[in-house]
Chains A and B, each alone.
Chain A
Amino acid sequence: MKLKLHNYTVLYLSGALFLVLSIWAAIFYINMIDEIHDSIDDGLNNSKILIINKVFEDSSLLHKDNFLESNYRIREVEKEQYLDFRDTFADTLLYTEYEEDYEPFRMLTTIFVGPNGKYYKLRVISSMVEEDDLIEDLLYSLLWLYLVLIVSMVAVNYLLLGRIWRSFYSTLKAVRGYKISDKQDIQFEKTRVQEFSRLQETLNDLIRSNKEVFQAQKQFIENAAHELQTPLAISINKLELLAEKSNFGDEQLQQIGAVIGNLERLTRLNRSLLLLSKIDNRQFDESEPVEMNAVIHKLCEDLEELADYRNIRLLTEESGTCTYTMNRTLAEVLFTNLIKNALTHTEPGGEIRIHIEEKRIYIENSGAPALDASRIFQRFYKASGENSSTGLGLAIVKSISDVYGFSITYTYPEAHRFSVYF
Chain B
Amino acid sequence: MKILVIEDEAEMRDILTQSLEKENFVVESASDFMSAMDKVGVYDYDCILLDINLPGGSGLDILKELQRTGKSEGVIIVSARNSVDDKVEGLALGADDYLAKPFHTAELTARVKSILRRKQFNGNNIATLKNLSIDFDNRQVSINGKAIELNRKEFDILTYFVANKNRLVSKTALAEHVWGDQIDEADSYEFIYSQIKNLRKKLKTYGSEVEIQAVYGIGYKLSDSDA
List residues of A whose CB falls within 8 A of some B CB. Answer: 226, 229-230, 232-238, 240-241, 243-244, 250, 253-258, 260-261, 263-264, 267-268, 271, 274, 283-284, 299, 302-303, 305-306, 309-310, 336, 340, 344, 388-389
Contact = CB atoms under 8 A, between A and B. Distances in A.
A229 B217 contact: no
Given A268-B184, A305-B191, A258 B81 contact: no
A230 B103 CA distance: 10
Given A232-B102, A241-B19, A256-B218, A306 B191 contact: yes
Contacts of B15: 234, 237-238, 241
Contacts of A244: 22, 167-168
B89 interface: no
Interface in B138-197: 153, 167-168, 170, 172, 179-188, 190-191, 194-195
Given A243-B215, A274-B82, A236 B102 contact: yes
Given A236-B102, A240-B104, A253-B218, A264 B182 contact: no
A230 B9 contact: yes
Contacts of A261: 172, 186
Interface residues of B, number: 42
B43 interface: no
B11 interface: yes
A254 B183 contact: no
Given A234-B9, A253-B218, A241 B18 contact: yes
A265 B81 CA distance: 19
Contacts, number: 110
Contacts of A230: 9, 12, 80, 101-102
Interface of B: 9, 11-12, 15, 18-19, 22, 80-82, 84, 100-106, 153, 167-168, 170, 172, 179-188, 190-191, 194-195, 215-219
Given A234-B102, A237-B105, A261-B172, 15 more contacts: A226-B82, A233-B103, A234-B12, A237-B15, A243-B215, A243-B218, A253-B216, A255-B217, A258-B217, A261-B186, A306-B188, A306-B191, A336-B182, A340-B182, A344-B187
Contacts of A388: 185-187
B100 to A, nearest CB: 8
9 contacts: A229-B101, A230-B9, A233-B103, A255-B217, A264-B172, A303-B182, A305-B191, A306-B182, A306-B183
Residue with the highest number of chain A CB atoms closer than 10 Å, among B19, B194, B216: B216
